Chain A
Amino acid sequence: MNMAAGNALGYEAAPAFSAPLRFFLTAPLFGVLAGVLLLVMPELLESRWTPGALALTHLVTVGFMLTVMLGAMFQILPVVAGAPIPATTVVATIVHLLMSAGAVALVWGLGAPAPDVLVIAVWLLGAGCAVFFVAAAIALLRVPITQATPRDMRFALIGLGIAILLGLTLAMIIARGLALPLVPLLKLHVGWAWLGGVGMLLGATAWIVVPMFQITPPYPAALTRYWAFATFTTLLIWSATVMYELTSIEFVIVIALVALAGAFIGNTLALQRRSRKSIPDITQRAFQLGLGSLIAGLICILVSYHSDSPLWPVLSGVLILHGGFISVMLGMLYKIVPFLAWLHLTQAGVRAPNMKKLQPDAPVRKQLIAHAITLAALIVATLGVSAWAGRIAGMLMTIEFAWLLNNMINVIRAYRRAGSA
């Protein structure tokens, strides 16, 4: 253990509030755009293969999810891994600008479709990710690995990096006719993004967040020790079966991947049931909705392997992305943002109002209910009842993300008020 790790505990190492916040405030804007797009083009949920559906997917995955995850990494790496990102504020500013502009270009390029814009997106996103990953690697290489979470964070970052590289490659195939097989690479892109990137990051975070904040017993040691490694390795094997078109073996490996995801989800739900907190808080509810949706989404994936109906892939996308990952991210945002506001006030020597004064429960609970209703509407719309179902889902989605933004802005207002009082 060296000085670098120790320095991570200094006030100097704590990133400025603006570093994660700029990401957190940008993400809901992409969510609003996704809602508006669906409102205008409700037919986008009919099939995954239309340009509009790809645009919608990436408004949610790159515009919202990736943005939130990047912002959180600036905050999480110093605390859990003792690895502050060098020149945090500068790096955060650059990464934020490149990724936001890149996300807009990606969505436009995919949706229009406009090959030249897609190439610009590749450059912007490629540059933004390069800056982030180099900075994160420098941070992580400076500290030795002592605990499960920092190690699994490394796996997750590598998984996410692979997913993004595959995405950039796909974009070049579409835009410039790069001579590579589209279909297997697309499959790998989705698999790595869901499980290798977002899923493993969720796992690495959950090892500590769930026991500590929800006051539960620890995860079984075997799970924290082997899960990320097993998942990563199985994803590699799965990738080989996809590339070599070993269809029957592939399905067996997919079952193994689903079982691994299920082991994580099942253990988390079981731990939460043993939480010492007598009243499940809002974050815990958001986790329950998220984990339940993930299970349903995984089942849809398995069904999709044995059905030609275009319904199952779209349904799995809705359940895993909107129902699963976004729910969990909402739960975390509602803890991180008010706590950071409190922390920065306290560090500035202000007697800070407590977190619930900075962020009252009522609007948060209502926004989460809006989120759950939106999920229900999205599912109904995916079942193809009528175009109106899609429009209503789009409208609800616009509302839920605008509401999220509003709730966060209100925390910032309370923070400013307290700071100037």
Chain B
Amino acid sequence: MTSITELMTHDHRACDEVFATIETAVAKGDWDKAGAALTAFGEALEAHLSAEETTIFPRFESASGMVDGPTRMMRMEHTEMRRGLDNMRDALERKDADDLSGEAETLLILMQQHNMKEENILYPMCDNHLSGEMATLGPKITSQLKASGA
């Protein structure tokens, strides 16, 4: 049985790969490709965040009783990440490569320090509380992540 930690950590890395294609396209000055890459990344990220917000976090909150704890902070960071994504879209529309790279750098670091906290702390906590229901939870999460095709 795969754990939440394995499932979600794997998806973080998959999102990273898509993220990297944006920069590559911008570096080559291929704005069409960059636009497509950004769209793909946006979908992958959104699928990941919403799997957490609609499935994992609520289950964790009710199983652990920690409603105001770690998940609250994670949700707040999700908001920041969505804003970062919007900023990138905005820079892409203006074809402003410098601005796009600054926004991308900022989002990357925000995203990765967020991922570190999830992978090292929150997901293991989730696995502790939810290992009993992975038979149903696992497939549900997988299908939510797959929705993006990433």
Contacts and interface: CB of A to CB of B under 8 A. Distances in A.
Interface of A: 1, 3, 5-11, 79-82, 143, 146-147, 149-150, 208, 211-213, 215, 218, 276-279, 281, 335, 339, 342-343, 346, 354-357
Nearest to B98: A356
A278 B24 contact: yes
Given A9-B73, A279-B23, A356-B98, A79 B116 contact: yes
A9 B80 contact: no
Contacts, number: 103
Interface SS majority for chain B: helix
Contacts of B115: 212
Contacts of A335: 109
Contacts of B113: 79, 339
Interface string B118-135: 011110110010000000
Contact of A356 (B17, B23, B102, B124): B102
Most buried by A among B24, B66, B101, B108: B108
Contacts of B109: 213, 335, 339, 355
Contact of B69 (A7, A147, A212, A279): A7
A355 B109 CA distance: 10
Given A9-B69, A215-B19, A276-B20, 14 more contacts: A1-B125, A1-B128, A3-B69, A7-B69, A8-B70, A9-B117, A79-B113, A146-B120, A276-B21, A278-B23, A278-B24, A339-B110, A346-B80, A356-B105
Contacts of A5: 121, 125
Contacts of B119: 147
Interface of B: 13, 16-17, 19-21, 23-24, 27-28, 66, 69-70, 72-74, 76, 80, 87, 98-99, 101-103, 105-106, 108-110, 112-113, 115-117, 119-122, 124-125, 128
A187 B27 CA distance: 49
A335 B110 CA distance: 11
B120 A6 contact: no
A82 B117 CA distance: 7
A10 B24 contact: no
B66 A6 contact: yes
A252 to B, nearest CB: 37
A277 B116 CA distance: 19
Given A9-B122, A355-B102, A355-B106, A277 B23 contact: yes
B91 to A, nearest CB: 9
A264 to B, nearest CB: 20
Given A1-B128, A9-B69, A354-B103, A212 B112 contact: yes
Nearest to A147: B120
Given A79-B113, A354-B103, A8 B23 contact: no
25 contacts: A1-B124, A3-B66, A5-B121, A7-B70, A9-B69, A9-B70, A9-B121, A9-B122, A10-B70, A11-B76, A80-B116, A81-B120, A146-B124, A147-B119, A212-B112, A212-B116, A276-B16, A276-B17, A276-B21, A278-B23, A278-B24, A278-B27, A339-B113, A342-B106, A355-B109
A167 B124 CA distance: 39
Given A10-B70, A146-B124, A278-B24, A354 B87 contact: yes
